[in-house]
Chain A
């Protein structure tokens, strides 16, 4: 069975500071990994995904993530955050492209000035 662990439930940071949101997964088969962002009372927007190839994945809004198979991690990073990045971030995994996703519990990123 697959599972996703987001290690931090809340991450407060100041504007223009770097941020890392941590995600670890467990799976006995090959995985596809995703990061989604959810703004209040809205659906999910895909930030980036890892399906295969380069382990460093760049996404929208200046975010990037690195797939580390040995550490079973897929941490999300941004070198300089903005107030508008305040939102809930979900890491997710699936064992095939397009199948149902298993989500982590989410990390609340709060950016203040």
Chain B
């Protein structure tokens, strides 16, 4: 099946710094990628949808200036958490799809802000 990778798998950063998370589709071209956020023991909440070459569409309540999403190629999307704070600590999961096909999920990135 299709494989989606995320890097890094976990990261610890200091409050006020920025962190970039990469999401890659390894064996298919992802026209659309989704970014989800998962708090401990809770469900996944969609943050934004990004189409290759276009600006991301953010869900209500998600700060686009804080969570910068770039989808510059058909195999790579990045999420940058700017000026991170402890409340941004979470598990971030991306998914990717080709056309109108199935979504494939990455393994997730655990962010801890100290």
Contacts and interface: CB of A to CB of B under 8 A. Distances in A.
Interface residues of A, number: 19
A104 B44 CA distance: 8
Nearest to B4: A43
Interface residues of B, number: 24
Given A100-B34, A100-B49, A43 B43 contact: no
A41 interface: yes
A108 B93 CA distance: 19
Contact of B44 (A49, A96, A98, A103): A103
Interface of B: 4, 6, 32, 34, 41-46, 49, 93, 95, 97, 99-103, 105-108, 110
Interface of A: 36, 41-46, 49, 90, 96-98, 100-106
